[in-house]
Amino acid sequence: MDDDLPTDFQVIVVGTGMVESIVAAACSRIGKNVLHLDSSDHYGGLWASYNFDGLQKFIKEVNSDPKRQLQVYNLAEKWYIEKESAQDEKKEEGEEKPEEAKPEPGKKVWSQANFTAEYRKFNIDMTPKLLFSRGPLVELLISSNIARYAEFRCVTRVLTWLSDKLMPVPCSRADVFATEAVGIVEKRQLMKMLTSIVGYNEEEMNNEFKDWNDKTFKEYLAHKGLTPNLIHYVLYAIAGGTDTMPCLEGVKECKKFLMSLGRYGNTPFLWPMYGSGELPQCFCRLCAVFGGVYCLNRPIDKVQTLTVDEGKEVVTIESKSKTLKCDHLVIGINECPKDLISPEPAESSDISKAVFITNGSIMKSDKEPLTLLRFPPLNDGDHSVTVLEVGPATGSCPKGLFVVYFITNKVKDAESDLMGIAEKIFDMSGGDQTEETDKPKCLWSLFYNVKDTSAPVKSTTGAVHVCSGPDAGLDFDRAVEQAEQIFKKICPGEEFLPRAPDPEEIVFEDDVTHGPEFTRDQDDDDAPKE
Amino acid sequence: MHGRVKVRTTEEERARKEKERQEKLKVYKHAMQKIFHKREEGELDKELLELTGKVLSSNPDIYTLWNIRREILIIFQKNDDNEELSQLYDAELHLTEYCLKINPKSYCAWHQREWVLTTRADPNWEKELALCNTYLKLDERNFHTWDYRRFVVRQFKPSLKDEFDYTTEKLMDNFSNYSAWHYRSKLLVELYPDLEGGRPIEDSHHKHELKMVQSAAFTDPDDTSAWFYQRWVLGAVRTDIDVAVFVVSPLKTTIAFSRPVNQAFVASKTRLFFGNELVNGEWQSLTGPQYDVLWVLKHNAEITEGLDVKMEYDREDENIQIIPTTKYNSNTYIGKGEINFEKKYSKPVVEELNNQLEACRQLLAMEPDNKWTLLTTTVFLHCIDAKQYHKETIENLHTLKSIDNLRAGYYDDLITKWSIEEQLIEDYKKDSLDFKIMFEDKVSSLPHLQYYSHCENVDLSNQNLTSNILPALELLQNCKKLSLENNQLTTLKGFPNLNLEELNLKGNSDLVEEVELFKERCNYSVIF
């Protein structure tokens, strides 16, 4: 296929995942000549958000292509509602019991056809993640001025599973004040623990924890006299840990959580509007603004590295019978030919994920909630499960529905790893959607496993930089960190994503020779200017 | 470097800003000049409104300009065109709103707004309340807005319950908010007065507030707003004005009250009888202020041996208290009231206080050196049963002095006050005209001194009194022998005019020079 795509670039980036996109933006921002390719017709790769139709396509593609199942497998999609709107049946039922059958206003009866019709209102994430309000990604978005391409919503609450029910976690000062779930002495204990963890400087930290290196965080909390209730909140919900979490890691996680409080909302987290898949696109946009060239739907066939004079390496890429050349190739792990990776990455445990679409929130609330639920391990040896529930206000689904994501480390397979928890917080029985239940009805579900490609990998040559895939963690921090490392290798000594100017700060080239200054007529100068 | 984005350097940017600033200054000076010129010429017209408006919208705190605007608006008020006037007022509100966005704490902009709303005939109070909500959303601690809100609420009279709930909502967001707590206290007494017991707040709400503020206090003990509110809630009990002591002697007739009262109060509530004879006369305050704790009755009735002197006092609970007297030497008759410093909480509130005390004690066991926990424990102890817990409260205050040394003086004053209250109970049981500090802690202040206004022999030796307390000694109207030996007096300035026989100033070495002069002026013996 002939096209007028130039063939020589300083940097070629293959794949539009998070790490790749940040590197592309950073290179383009400081003046590198960047080409950014993706083999599929959309941005994000495994970090993408799909509308309902796109998701169906994705499921179909993966199921029919064994090669893709190396990354994503065990896909199990299930409907819990009728194909077509059951209006006719409804009417019949209605004759039998005219009172109850009437859906109360606002409680719509959904059918599969409704989902298909409203497919554009869904934005379902393959890699749902949150941003810590003072985490590296938020700081980067602000310092680079990329934040203006994105919108966020505050996570409104953090929940946990305690004594067989969902409980809000008092994490901020206002929460601790308002909660009735902990006693007055516990309030003091909790606040004291939280403020001391935030307040420790390095020296105090070393001092306080010098004997805790080989002990667990749980032991530390118990040692500090926290009640079992409080240990639960701090360990599972705030630190996101398990019983075996090492003490120092727990302290670090707590600190990260607490440091992000009070910046934007009542919890430490932000959720990107229209899904996490928006974020790689923001970086791509900056890349394009600074001259990066984009080409989607462009698979690559072959990658070769040549050593030209003075040991300088050039990477050539065959793509659609064209040969592209660059000094540096940045490539997503899933696109990367095996022979470029060295050594072979160690086998890692994979990730179990699930998406549910429900007809209500897992815990009722006055305003539409945006929830992080950290589900502690149900049995010894299990992993904890991260649950994110997002509603229509985030642009994730039509009104009346919620999208809920489950993420955990794989033990057996996604469905067996996660079904037990789903059954605790959802009504998985299908049936009458108008029925008053204390749990929301699950209308649709998708379980799947993802290969964990988040461990950094080295390539065989210094001119090729391999980007990791998404991890099972809550935030994007590792992706940001890795992108910066790759950038520093490509452009040593250059600033990583300096602030992009606002439009009004830009001086246009043609504008350099100024015309005569506009001056006000002195005599006319009697009205004050605002 | 083609196609590259070029950005102004910081140097260029600074130059641009400086130029803008100069431009602004020129425009400002010019406008101000023109405004004052027009005003001098008496041209109070719409043009001047516009000019002042423009300057104010970037400098909202030039109150002179707001005054000029009011002058103009007052002239327009005389016109008959109501619609035009209404439009002018609307524009004025719009301007203040704009200015408040620039400086939300502009006194004059808030004041102008208040003026417009009280001046115009058609104020829209609902809109004002909505404005308060908006501004408090932007800054929940702006006391200007809270102040303005109370003004609006006074006029608009919305549901006080809604206002109360609003304070709850704001406190739930952030309880470090003096204004919200304060407003809450004002609303509580209006919304939930205790109709039966005559207390300021009805029991269940009293309890609820105690719980709420405790939650705040334990969530963040370093936040003082919660503690201040807690003190208010604990103090929110009815305290009646009592007669402390009255003295009828050939020299003078004095009466001391537990709290300052005015002349009308004394004249209407007290009646002095010699036998069945009502004594007529004029009550004068001791030192002259409108409210005073000690009053003197000027009367012409003769004081003789064997009189039956008594006083009738109309108490605030509407009972009449008859206070008999005991005769002391030389035709001096003294009647004492009841000592009642204890706060009268209802039973449910006392229960709640005991619960909270228990929680405090638990915390204290965990962190014995926490200042706020210890202070609160101490206040609870004092409030629940001052007599029973006296020893413990004083010990706690001593601990507080060492762990919170910056406020040692405050704790000293509390020790003095609570100890005097304890001593008074015993002293009032005795028929004695002596007053001597009986507890170990040295006093540096003299609270409740009017209770000892009948004493003839006052021994304040070996204390930490400084010259600051001298004016207060005027309360010792019947004192004959006063000892200030071994204190820290540095001057005798402010020493009141007392009919003493003997004054002991020994051991106040700083007084050497002054004492000789002082001796010449007074007609009693001064020991030095």
Q: ipTM greater than 0.85, yes or no?
A: no
Q: Under 8 Å CB-to-CB from A60, ≥6 apart: which residues?
A: none
Q: Under 8 Å CB-to-CB from A454, ≥6 apart: which residues?
A: A348, A468, A469, A470, A471, A472, A473, A478
pLDDT at A520: 53
User: Which residues in chain A come in under a pLDDT of 50?
Assistant: 1, 88-103, 511-512, 521-530
All CATH 1.10.405.10 domain ranges in chain A, comma separated:
167-270
User: Which residues in chain B come in under a pLDDT of 50?
Assistant: 1-3
Say if A525 is an interface residue toward chain B (CB within 8 Å): yes
Backbone angles phi, psi at A165, to 5 degrees: -150, 165
Which CATH code, of 1.10.10.10, 3.30.519.10, 3.40.1030.10, 3.40.50.620, is assigned to A65-121+349-451?
A: 3.30.519.10
Query: Is the Cβ pair B51, A528 closer than 8 Å?
Result: yes
Distance between CA atoms of residues B373 and B218, nearest Å: 8
Query: Is the Cβ pair A173, B219 closer than 8 Å?
Result: yes
All CATH 3.30.519.10 domain ranges in chain A, comma separated:
65-121+349-451
Distance between CA atoms of residues A496 and A29, nearest Å: 9
Nearest to A501 among B5, B54, B57 (CB): B5
Interface test with B, best of A180, A186, A188 (most B CBs within 10 A): A188
pLDDT at B370: 82
Amino acid at A491: C
Say if A198 is an interface residue toward chain B (CB within 8 Å): no
Nearest to A501 among B7, B28, B57 (CB): B7
Query: Is the Cβ pair A509, B2 closer than 8 Å?
Result: yes
pLDDT at B6: 63
Interface test with A, best of B171, B214, B219, B356 (most A CBs within 10 A): B219
Determine contact, residues B223/B214, Cβ cutoff 8 Å.
no
Q: Identify the CATH class of A167-270.
A: mainly alpha
Which residue ranges make up each domain of chain B? Answer: 243-336, 360-418, 432-527
Instruction: Name the strand (E) or helix (H) holding A217.
Output: helix A217-223
Which CATH code, of 3.40.50.300, 1.10.640.10, 3.40.50.970, 3.80.10.10, is assigned to B432-527?
A: 3.80.10.10
pLDDT at B389: 94
Record the tokens describing residue A125, joined without a space.
Answer: 């994430």
Determine contact, residues B197/B191, Cβ cutoff 8 Å.
no
Strands A152-154 and A124-125: unpaired
- Shortest Cα distance, chain B CAs vs residue A528, angstroms: 5
pLDDT at B406: 95
Residue pLDDT, tens place only, A414-448: 999 999 999 999 999 987 888 778 899 999 999 99
- Shortest Cα distance, chain A CAs vs residue B212, angstroms: 8
- Shortest Cα distance, chain B CAs vs residue A516, angstroms: 16
- Shortest Cα distance, chain B CAs vs residue A501, angstroms: 7
Window 134-173 of B: residues touching A by CB (8 A cutoff) are: 171-173
User: From A170, which residue of chain B is nearest by alpha-carbon distance?
Assistant: B219
Distance between CA atoms of residues B142 and B6, nearest Å: 42
Residue pLDDT, tens place only, B116-148: 999 998 899 999 999 999 999 999 999 999 999
Query: Is the Cβ pair A174, B58 closer than 8 Å?
Result: no
- Shortest Cα distance, chain A CAs vs residue B5, angstroms: 7
Q: What is the DSSP string of A99-167?
A: TTTSPPTT-PPP-HHHHHHTGGG--EESS---EETTSHHHHHHHHTTGGGG--EEE--EEEEEETTEEE
All CATH 3.50.50.60 domain ranges in chain A, comma separated:
8-51+274-346+454-490
Query: Is the Cβ pair A174, B8 closer than 8 Å?
Result: no
Q: Identify the CATH class of B243-336.
A: mainly beta
pLDDT at B485: 93
Q: Does domain A8-51+274-346+454-490 have CATH number 3.50.50.60?
A: yes
pLDDT at A524: 44
pLDDT at A528: 42
pLDDT at A523: 46
Say if A185 is an interface residue toward chain B (CB within 8 Å): yes
pLDDT at B197: 65
pLDDT at A325: 93
pLDDT at B39: 93
pLDDT at B146: 96
Nearest to A528 among B4, B8, B54 (CB): B54
Distance between CA atoms of residues B498 and B524, nearest Å: 10
pLDDT at A525: 43
3-class secondary structure per residue, B84-144: HHHHHHHHHHHHHHHHHHHCCCCHHHHHHHHHHHHHCCCCCHHHHHHHHHHHHHHCCCCHH
